[in-house]
Each structure stands twice: as structure tokens, then as C-alpha cells.
Amino acid sequence: MTYECITTRTEGDKVAIITLNRPKALNALNDQLMDELGAALKGFDADPAIGCIVLTGSEKAFAAGADITAMAKFTFADAYKGDFITRNWETIRNIRKPVIAAVSGFALGGGCELAMMCDFIIAADNAKFGQPEIKLGIIPGAGGTQRLPRAVGKSKAMDMALTGRMMDATEAERAGLVSRVVPLDKLQEETLGAALQICAFSQVAVMAAKESVNRAFEGTLADGIVFERRLFHALFATADQKEGMDAFVNKRPAEFQHR
């Protein structure tokens, strides 16, 4: 499939890099971009060679939100019937391999929501996060009111959603929205490093860890603990567990089978 709103490439044959590419509109998300993103993510998720996916934008913008020009004249029926922008979000949620967001510049509205749907966010020091939908007479529509409070707590999430103000990278890291902040010129290198590190581990264990952490946001603590325990015990059935522990005991690097 040829893409117009994104580009894709692989690094070291293991890491897939998807770059949002609508520079004139600061990577504003429209249906075409989201359809292409959904297709690319599904393709890489199904590709046995790929161990980790990186989603990124430009230096100026990860994504400045849903495309306001595209939706300005929408009626309720248009938005509802077309499931504007949000129709691919379940696809993203169902990707089983790790997806890292490498964010520089603006991550606003749907852009912030897209970054939050990734498994973790590495931010450049020029990153700015926000849910400015209130300024347009709407509210976040792709999980912002749900994921932001889970990430940064109620008070800060309310502040962001009700005033529409932006959070810089330092505040975002302090609040727990992003896992690391790095200088802009180190963003790609740092993210690729993290992705390659993940690819070197047992893919079965990596996917199980992702599935288990995600449970923490979707159910009760008691259910999450049981889920984690079942996966933890199940991993003892893998050759990679034998290899990982034998390598540790014998003071040698592990060579995992499932990578």
C-alpha cells in the first residue's frame, strides 16, 4: 500500500518507524491519515521480523490534533456516521507489539490522545502537550478525558481540559505523562535505542508485559493481579525463560529464541 500522509521505514530490520507526514497542517489527523496509520500498524504488528514500532512526527509537530478544516462544517450526523477520526483507534489499542511515541513539538488534541495511546512517550525538550478542544467549542473525542486523568491525575487533567493550556516537556515528565525527556537532537537516537533494547528481549515476555500493564487501566486491582500471575506462571513454559535464567546463572548474555 502506498501512503500519502505517513511514511514508514525499518531500522536494523527489527524496528518499524512510522512518521506522520502532513507538514503543511502540522500533521493534523484526518481520516486518510488515520486509515493509513491503522493499516501500517496492523502490517507491522503482523510482520514476524518486527519487534517494536515507533510513532513519530516532525520537529515542529507530532500532531496538532484532529483536522479542524475537515470537521468545521460537520453536523452531528456526519461526525457520528463517519466515526470521524476515531474509527481507527480500536485498531491502535489492539496492536500487541510495543508502540513508542517519539514526540517533538506540538501534541495537541487528537495528537496528545494518539501519543497517550502508545505504550510510552519519549519527549523532546521542545514538546508541548495539550487538550485545547474546549477553545473550539468541543471536548476531546479520542480518549483524552479518560487517559489524561489516568496519566496525570484529576486536577491537572481538568486544568488541561477546561483551560486548554499546554504543558511543556518538563511538566509532562513531572506529571508522569512522558517517561523521558531528551534534547531534540537526541530524540530519534534515544527512541531507537529503547526500541532496539526491547527487540533484544523475548518477544513473548515483552507482549505479556504490555498486556499485563494495560490491564492496570482496565479492571480492578484484584483482577489485574490474577491476570499478571497467570501470565507470569505461563512464561515458565517458554524456552526463553530457561535461556534468560540460565544465562544469568552462568554469567553470559542471553540469546532469546523468540525475538
Enumerate binding residues for ligand CAA (CB under 6 A). 25-26, 28, 64-69, 85, 106, 108-110, 113, 132-133, 136, 140-142, 144
Nearer to ligand CAA, 68 or 235 (CB): 68
Backbone angles phi, psi at 94, to 5 degrees: -90, 0
* Whole-number Å distance between alpha carbons of 201 and 244: 9
110 classed as catalytic: yes
Least separation in angstroms between residue 224's CB and ligand CAA is 28
Nearer to ligand CAA, 51 or 143 (CB): 143
Considering the candidates 110, 111, 130, 143, report the single residue annotated as catalytic. Answer: 110
Least separation in angstroms between residue 60's CB and ligand CAA is 7
Locate cell 483536522: which residue?
A: 67
Nearer to ligand CAA, 98 or 110 (CB): 110
Considering the candidates 66, 107, 115, 161, report the single residue annotated as catalytic. Answer: 66
Nearer to ligand CAA, 147 or 215 (CB): 147
Considering the candidates 28, 51, 113, 144, report the single residue annotated as catalytic. Answer: 113
Least separation in angstroms between residue 18's CB and ligand CAA is 19
Least separation in angstroms between residue 71's CB and ligand CAA is 8
* Whole-number Å distance between alpha carbons of 233 and 252: 24
239 classed as catalytic: no
Least separation in angstroms between residue 66's CB and ligand CAA is 4
113 classed as catalytic: yes
Considering the candidates 51, 133, 169, 195, report the single residue annotated as catalytic. Answer: 133
Nearer to ligand CAA, 79 or 200 (CB): 79
**DSSP collapsed to 3 states, the chain:** CCCCCEEEEEECCCEEEEEECCHHHCCCECHHHHHHHHHHHHHHHHCCCCCEEEEECCCCEEECCECHHHHCCCCHHHHHHHCCCHHHHHHHHCCCCCEEEEECCEEECHHHHHHHHCCEEEEECCCEEECHHHHHCCCCCCCHHHHHHHHHCHHHHHHHHHHCCEEEHHHHHHHCCCCEEECHHHHHHHHHHHHHHHHCCCHHHHHHHHHHHHHCCCCCHHHHHHHHHHHHHHHHHCHHHHHHHHHHHCCCCCCCCCC
Active-site residue set: 66, 110, 113, 133
